[in-house]
């Protein structure tokens, strides 16, 4: 345990601005800052100097290796370690690192998913330094955050399109801000604070469950007698062992410069949350990946396992990730914060409307951005936002928009019609913190909270779509306003039109209500894509390709490849689950049932030997039922195996994913229900895995 105070060790493993300032010459530092702040191309001489300073710093910290750290489309981060060593003439080694090695790397990336991109273009990939995200040290290795592209320039990762989407939004937001006279604003960045949920269970129990080890979720398991019904875990007292884990985790994250801020117990037993203070989107994305990795490492040190799967336990709340998102200028203005003057409020309303329009026009893209096999179990279930995307604004802001749309007074007492840009706009309520937890996309006073993300998702995808869609709204607004004869009149009409065209996406009610599903789909015509195979093909809908390519976020080839990769990931994931279920049924569950039935049968013989007339009702009933269930498990597991074989008939990945949704998943459910019933009848001594009760209440 460190005895140093937090400010003394915060960021100690990061080559951050403090290190740059103290280790680089003024000239090199200024030039690097220009690259970081304004995206200026880096001069090779500057890169060389930075590489030397970085190497010296890393060696002082005990690092022996360096790696380009990137985020391929597998969803996890990738690294390939190279040591700094280089042979010297006297037979010893020296530690070397060049500017070229800092800027660009060439991982042998042939086994990363590309969705066919590299087959049609170039065989190699390269990584390129993202100087806006600081390098850090992990496991004695200097990690350099990088983008990963093909030699043809196609993005093979999540960072490249994320950076492009941030640039697209920056460009359009600046146009709007300049129209409002904010000429001093040089750039607009999106910021994100991702709240991360996770489960902690003991390593000992985890090791006994092949389903957790192979798939991250339990594929079998009958309900625990106690679940989350008492609501006694949420914000409850943190258990000492968990507290020790959290303390250690915070320390590791702080050393890496991650602003881990709040931690608490979540709704389900064994479920917790960690939220950092927000930062610029690409940094927040890198840090969230790092946070997930460090959580798992620190858990292991404590004899625990951190489960990041969206739905590790059926019938218990799953884990999500809330993406708190806003836009801010380099001059420190949060564009989603209501202002003090009517003019500022008109600007705020325009940015607010841009988001509303973006979410309505591209509901499908937002849904797609959070689609995975794991998250399908969560969206639409009784704890997560529904698969239908809608926007919560709260009563007051909704009333303001209503008044604008209908040209009627907002405050009846004042009798003032709402006109923008003139002094009748009221002061807006600032602190209408939302407590509507059922909305997938909620305005929370000065930011939007997109809540549909799964706990294991990279937040990159959601933010790519969000940034791009908002950039598109802003572009449409800027095009119109720049050519307008009467700015205020055009502005007012545009805002009014946005409200009336897009109010179908606004919903302040209960998103878990069945009535909402009916209203949303039948009356309002909103999308309701329940599963990944339902939504993913829409990525390639004409309007989506048009928007994302014209915003420069993706090329059409990149979109096609991503659609394929996401569907492939889905298919692979569910196939592994199905195979694991069959394996567990045959090798563990059926033998356990037989073993227990045998015990009971022998007990009956023994009893009858003592007193021939004994009924042995209990034993007979259980053995009979177990016999029926064993047959069912056997048959259903065979059926499932056949269904897996039949997937070979699918003509393409879209068909295969649909077959998985329609045949594999229902058959897995049937197999599970027979096994789960058997679990309730077999003695816990004979049952081969820890129960839900053991798993959920095992960490003490």
Q: Which residues bind ligand ADP (CB under 6 A)?
A: 191-193, 195, 275-278, 324-326, 334, 446-447
Instruction: Give the residue carrying structure tokens 């569950």.
Output: 589
Return the residues of window 295-324 that contact Mg ion according to CB under 5 A: 322
Closer to ligand ADP by Cβ: residue 220 or 254: 254
**Alpha helices for 182-307 (secondary structure H):** 203-207, 210-215, 240-255, 281-301
From the CB of 281, what's the least distance to ligand ADP, in Å? 9
From the CB of 335, what's the least distance to ligand ADP, in Å? 9
Taking Cα atoms as reference points, which of 296, 115, 64 lies closest to residue 198?
296
Taking Cα atoms as reference points, which of 566, 545, 115 lies closest to residue 376?
566
From the CB of 329, what's the least distance to ligand ADP, in Å? 12
Cα(195)–Cα(193) distance, integer angstroms? 6
User: Which of ligand ADP, Mg ion, none does residue 325 bind (CB under 5 to 8 Å by kind)?
Assistant: ligand ADP
Closer to ligand ADP by Cβ: residue 72 or 193: 193
Instruction: Give the residue carrying structure tokens 């797609």.
Output: 368
Return the residues of window 320-359 that contact Mg ion according to CB under 5 A: 322
User: Which of ligand ADP, Mg ion, none does residue 83 bind (CB under 5 to 8 Å by kind)?
Assistant: none
Query: E strands, 428-554, where?
Result: 441-443, 448-454
User: Which of Mg ion, ligand ADP, none does residue 192 bind (CB under 5 to 8 Å by kind)?
Assistant: ligand ADP
From the CB of 448, what's the least distance to ligand ADP, in Å? 9
Helix and strand numbers, DSSP H then E, in the chain? 26, 19
User: Which of ligand ADP, Mg ion, none does residue 275 bind (CB under 5 to 8 Å by kind)?
Assistant: ligand ADP
Q: Spell out the residues 6+ positions from residue 102 whose beta carbon is closer than 8 angstroms to its own.
A: 47, 50, 51, 54, 129, 144
User: Which of ligand ADP, Mg ion, none does residue 127 bind (CB under 5 to 8 Å by kind)?
Assistant: none
Q: Spell out the residues 6+ positions from residue 220 whose beta carbon is closer than 8 angstroms to its own.
A: 211, 581, 584, 589, 672, 675, 676, 679, 689
Closer to ligand ADP by Cβ: residue 146 or 288: 288
For the chain, the farthest-separated pair of C-alpha atoms sits apart, in whole angstroms, at: 104
CA 542 to chain centre: 26
User: Which residue is nearest to Mg ion, using beta carbons?
Assistant: 322
Contacts 24+ apart (CB under 8 A), 182-186: 182/329, 182/331, 182/333, 184/331, 185/329, 185/330, 185/331, 185/333, 186/38, 186/330
Cα(636)–Cα(597) distance, integer angstroms? 20
Closer to Mg ion by Cβ: residue 278 or 428: 278
From the CB of 322, what's the least distance to Mg ion, in Å? 4
> What are the tokens at 567?
């569907």
Closer to ligand ADP by Cβ: residue 290 or 653: 290
Beta-carbon count within 10 A of 624 CB: 11
User: Which of ligand ADP, Mg ion, none does residue 334 bind (CB under 5 to 8 Å by kind)?
Assistant: ligand ADP
User: Which of Mg ion, ligand ADP, none does residue 364 bind (CB under 5 to 8 Å by kind)?
Assistant: none
Are the C-beta atoms of residues 134 and 16 closer than 8 Å to each other?
yes
Cα(440)–Cα(383) distance, integer angstroms? 11
Closer to ligand ADP by Cβ: residue 450 or 516: 450
> What are the tokens at 572?
């692979």
User: Which of ligand ADP, Mg ion, none does residue 447 bind (CB under 5 to 8 Å by kind)?
Assistant: ligand ADP
What does the DSSP 8-state code read for residue 664?
I
Cα(530)–Cα(406) distance, integer angstroms? 35
Closer to Mg ion by Cβ: residue 75 or 320: 320
From the CB of 461, what's the least distance to Mg ion, in Å? 19
Are the C-beta atoms of residues 467 and 166 closer than 8 Å to each other?
yes
Closer to ligand ADP by Cβ: residue 86 or 433: 433
Residue 504: phi, psi to the nearest 5? -60, -25
Closer to ligand ADP by Cβ: residue 193 or 380: 193
From the CB of 264, what's the least distance to ligand ADP, in Å? 9
Closer to Mg ion by Cβ: residue 196 or 202: 196
User: Which of ligand ADP, Mg ion, none does residue 579 bind (CB under 5 to 8 Å by kind)?
Assistant: none
Taking Cα atoms as reference points, which of 311, 322, 215, 244 lies closest to residue 271?
311
Site string for Mg ion, 376-395 (x = CB under 5 A): --------------------
Closer to ligand ADP by Cβ: residue 279 or 551: 279
User: Which of ligand ADP, Mg ion, none does residue 446 bind (CB under 5 to 8 Å by kind)?
Assistant: ligand ADP
Closer to Mg ion by Cβ: residue 84 or 450: 450
DSSP for 510-527? -TT-HHHHHIIIIIS---
DSSP for 151-163? TTS-B-BSHHHHH
From the CB of 316, what's the least distance to Mg ion, in Å? 20
User: Which of Mg ion, ligand ADP, none does residue 191 bind (CB under 5 to 8 Å by kind)?
Assistant: ligand ADP
From the CB of 268, what's the least distance to Mg ion, in Å? 16
Number of residues interacting with Mg ion: please give it, by CB under 5 A: 1
From the CB of 312, what's the least distance to ligand ADP, in Å? 22
Report angle CA 188, 189, 191 to the nearest 5 degrees: 145
Report angle CA 575, 577, 580 to the nearest 5 degrees: 110
Beta-carbon count within 10 A of 392 CB: 25
From the CB of 20, what's the least distance to ligand ADP, in Å? 25
Helix (H, G, I), strand (E, B) or coil at 3: coil
Q: Spell out the residues 6+ positions from residue 699 whose beta carbon is closer than 8 angstroms to its own.
A: 200, 201, 202, 239, 241, 242, 270, 304
Closer to ligand ADP by Cβ: residue 276 or 338: 276
From the CB of 443, what's the least distance to ligand ADP, in Å? 12
User: Which of ligand ADP, Mg ion, none does residue 220 bind (CB under 5 to 8 Å by kind)?
Assistant: none
Closer to Mg ion by Cβ: residue 266 or 534: 266
User: Which of ligand ADP, Mg ion, none does residue 374 bind (CB under 5 to 8 Å by kind)?
Assistant: none
Taking Cα atoms as reference points, which of 563, 694, 677 lies closest to residue 622?
677
User: Which residue is nearest to ligand ADP, using beta carbons?
Assistant: 193
From the CB of 406, what's the least distance to ligand ADP, in Å? 30
User: Which of Mg ion, ligand ADP, none does residue 216 bind (CB under 5 to 8 Å by kind)?
Assistant: none
On the 0-12 / 13-18 / 19+ scale of CB atoms within 10 A, 231 is: exposed
From the CB of 337, what's the least distance to ligand ADP, in Å? 8
Cα(700)–Cα(697) distance, integer angstroms? 7
Taking Cα atoms as reference points, which of 466, 465, 438 lies closest to residue 451?
438
From the CB of 192, what's the least distance to ligand ADP, in Å? 5
Instruction: Give the residue carrying structure tokens 């040089």.
Output: 186
Closer to ligand ADP by Cβ: residue 275 or 464: 275
User: Which of ligand ADP, Mg ion, none does residue 656 bind (CB under 5 to 8 Å by kind)?
Assistant: none
Closer to Mg ion by Cβ: residue 55 or 322: 322
Are the C-beta atoms of residues 174 and 180 closer than 8 Å to each other?
no
User: Which of Mg ion, ligand ADP, none does residue 193 bind (CB under 5 to 8 Å by kind)?
Assistant: ligand ADP
Are the C-beta atoms of residues 678 and 630 closer than 8 Å to each other?
yes
**Alpha helices for 232-280 (secondary structure H):** 240-255
From the CB of 244, what's the least distance to Mg ion, in Å? 25
> Which residues of the shown chain bind Mg ion in the complex (CB under 5 A)?
322
């Amino acid at each position: 345990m460190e005895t140093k105070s937090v400010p003394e060790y915060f960021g100690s493993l990061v080559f951050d601005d403090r290190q740059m300032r103290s280790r680089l010459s003024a000239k090199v530092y200024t030039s690097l800052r220009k690259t970081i702040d304004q995206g200026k191309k880096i001069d090779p001489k500057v890169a060389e100097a930075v590489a030397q300073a970085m190497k010296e710093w890393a060696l002082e910290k005990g690092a022996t290796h360096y790696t380009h750290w990137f985020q391929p489309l597998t969803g996890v981060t990738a690294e390939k370690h190279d040591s700094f060593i280089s042979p010297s003439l006297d037979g010893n080694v020296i530690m070397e690192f060049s500017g070229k090695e800092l800027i660009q790397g060439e991982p042998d990336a042939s086994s990363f998913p590309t969705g066919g991109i590299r087959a049609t273009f170039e065989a190699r990939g390269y990584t390129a330094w993202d100087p806006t995200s600081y390098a850090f040290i992990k496991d004695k290795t200097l990690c350099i955050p990088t983008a990963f592209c093909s030699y043809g320039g196609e993005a093979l990762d999540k960072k490249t399109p994320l950076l492009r989407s941030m640039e697209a939004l920056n460009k359009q937001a600046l146009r709007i801000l300049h129209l409002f006279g904010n000429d001093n604003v040089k750039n607009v960045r999106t910021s994100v604070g991702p709240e991360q949920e996770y489960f902690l269970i003991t390593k000992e129990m985890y090791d006994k469950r092949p389903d957790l080890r192979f798939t991250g979720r339990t594929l079998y398991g009958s309900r625990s007698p106690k679940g989350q019904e008492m609501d006694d875990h949420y914000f409850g007292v943190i258990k000492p062992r968990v507290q020790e884990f959290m303390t250690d985790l915070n320390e590791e994250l702080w050393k890496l410069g991650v602003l881990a801020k709040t931690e608490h117990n979540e709704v389900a037993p064994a479920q917790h949350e960690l939220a950092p203070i927000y930062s610029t989107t690409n940094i927040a994305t890198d840090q969230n990946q790092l946070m997930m990795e460090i959580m798992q490492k620190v858990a292991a040190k404590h004899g625990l396992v951190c489960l990041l799967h969206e739905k590790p336990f059926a019938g218990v709340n799953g884990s999500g990730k809330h993406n708190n998102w806003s836009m801010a200028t380099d001059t420190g203005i949060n564009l989603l914060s209501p202002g003090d003057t009517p003019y500022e409020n008109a600007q705020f309303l325009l940015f607010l409307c841009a988001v509303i329009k973006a979410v309505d026009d591209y509901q499908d893209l937002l849904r797609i951005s959070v689609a995975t096999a794991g998250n399908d179990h969560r969206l639409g279930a009784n704890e997560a936002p529904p698969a239908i995307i809608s926007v919560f604004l709260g009563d007051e802001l909704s009333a303001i928009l209503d008044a604008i749309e209908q040209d009627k007074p907002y405050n009846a007492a004042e009798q003032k019609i709402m006109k923008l840009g003139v002094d009748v706009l009221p002061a807006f309520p600032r602190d209408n913190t939302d407590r509507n937890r059922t909305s997938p996309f909620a305005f929370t006073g000065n930011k939007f909270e997109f809540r549909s993300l799964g706990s294991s998702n990279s937040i990159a995808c959601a933010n790519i779509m969000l940034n791009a869609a908002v950039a598109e709204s802003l572009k449409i607004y800027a095009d119109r306003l720049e050519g307008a004869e009467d700015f205020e009149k055009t502005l007012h009409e545009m805002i009014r039109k946005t409200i009336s065209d897009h109010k179908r996406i606004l919903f302040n009610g209960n998103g878990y209500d069945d009535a909402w599903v009916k209203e949303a789909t039948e009356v309002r015509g909103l999308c309701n894509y329940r599963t990944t195979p339902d939504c993913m093909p829409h990525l390639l809908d004409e309007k989506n390709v048009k928007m994302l390519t014209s915003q420069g976020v993706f090329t059409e080839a990149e979109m096609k490849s991503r659609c394929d990769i996401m569907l492939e990931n889905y298919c692979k994931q569910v196939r592994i689950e199905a195979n694991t279920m069959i394996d567990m049924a045959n090798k563990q569950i059926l033998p356990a049932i037989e073993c227990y039935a045998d015990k009971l049968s022998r007990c009956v013989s023994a009893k009858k030997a003592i007193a021939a007339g004994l009924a042995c009702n209990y034993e007979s009933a259980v053995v009979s039922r177990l016999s029926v269930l064993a047959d069912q498990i056997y048959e259903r597991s065979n059926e499932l195996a056949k269904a897996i074989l039949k997937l070979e008939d699918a003509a393409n990945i879209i068909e295969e994913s649909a077959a998985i949704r329609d045949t594999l998943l229902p058959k897995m459910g049937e197999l599970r229900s027979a096994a789960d019933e058997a679990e309730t009848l077999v003695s816990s001594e004979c049952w081969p895995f820890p129960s839900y009760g053991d798993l959920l209440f095992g960490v003490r």
